[in-house]
Chains A and B, each alone.
Chain A
Amino acid sequence: MIVCVAVVGHQNNPLYLQSFTEADDALKLHHIVHCSLDVIDERVNNPKKTGPTLNETFLGLLYPTENYKVYGYLTNTKVKFILVTTDLDVRDADVRNFFRRFHLAYVDAVSNPFHVPGKKITSRTFADRVSDIVRTFGLGTAV
């Protein structure tokens, strides 16, 4: 069950933050996303030789905390996508697929001529597409 997705710009400014459960405290999710930014910076600046290569966009599981798992994805333009989920068994391929579709939706939202780079994404189409992607996460095998 995906709890929250977030898009953070290259100066660590939040561009989009959406949570998908009513029960949890939105502030706690903000906090988790914030902490995961530090982990991303660590991963990027000190690459582990045995881990994924320097230039992967998908960063994988950032850190597991209490009952959440946090996944990260870094684009070429230093925009970070964060995914917080409560699932216990999440397939790597599912998460990669999710980020691929999320990246496509993000690029479409940013290509809007009325969108100012650096400001929050206010497009309703983007929000709808994201909720679709979140809803079909984990169902079926490939898209």
Chain B
Amino acid sequence: MVSAYCNRFYATKPELAARRIEAIGYLVGHQLSERYTIERPRFSDHLEAIKFICKDFWSELFKKQIDNLKTNHRGTFVLQDNRFRWLTHVSIDPSPANTDLSQEPSLATAESKAAQATNMHLYFPCGIIRGALSNLGIPCAVSADISNLPACSFLVRIKA
């Protein structure tokens, strides 16, 4: 789905593709959070809701829980997954031996193209988290960071 949006629909406008993918993720997260909160009692505060996302929601989606949750107790949370299922087959290879290009500058662009493509794939889970949290009444902004694959961390900033 991501490649369809990136390459076919908005080939020349990656920002629009990113926004569209994130919006789809938002709706999906919205609906999934309705489904997965059926039998549960209501959450008393933001931390409870985030813990729900880390444990039950993530295990329903990816069959594992979030490995690490950090917070600064002022509305920012970092959810770290050490082996993000959707990115396990993606590699950003830093060594020059595997590329066909021989010049230095184009090597750099090849690397950043791979990084950009991976980032596109990350907008969907960001949207899912944002949709689920806003359905629970917590407006927020979510961004993802892949500094070392396959670990992936999501930064959640709650709008005060």
Contact = CB atoms under 8 A, between A and B. Distances in A.
Contact of B137 (A10, A53, A56): A10
Q: Is the interface of A mostly helix, strand, loop or mixed?
A: loop
A74 interface: yes
A56 B34 CA distance: 16
A21 B115 CA distance: 61
B35 A77 contact: no
Given A76-B33, A77-B33, A79-B34, 11 more contacts: A54-B42, A55-B43, A57-B41, A74-B42, A75-B37, A76-B43, A103-B38, A107-B34, A110-B31, A111-B31, A111-B35
Given A10-B137, A113-B27, A55 B34 contact: no
A85 to B, nearest CB: 23
24 contacts: A10-B137, A53-B41, A54-B44, A55-B43, A55-B44, A57-B40, A74-B42, A75-B34, A75-B37, A76-B33, A76-B41, A76-B42, A77-B33, A77-B37, A77-B136, A78-B137, A79-B34, A104-B38, A107-B34, A107-B35, A111-B31, A111-B34, A111-B35, A117-B135
Contacts, number: 48
Closest 3 CB pairs of A and B: A55-B41, A76-B37, A55-B42
A77 B43 contact: no
Contacts of B34: 75, 77, 79, 106-107, 110-111
Interface string A50-82: 000111110000000000000000111111000
Q: Is the interface of B mostly helix, strand, loop or mixed?
A: loop
Interface residues of A, number: 20
Contacts of B33: 76-77
Contacts of A53: 41
A12 B9 CA distance: 38
A117 B136 contact: no
A99 B40 CA distance: 14
Interface string A87-115: 00000000000000001101100110100
A107 B27 CA distance: 13
Contacts of B37: 75-77
B130 interface: no
B86 to A, nearest CB: 20
Contacts of A107: 31, 34-35, 38
A54 B30 CA distance: 24
B41 A56 contact: yes
A106 B34 CA distance: 9
Nearest to A10: B137
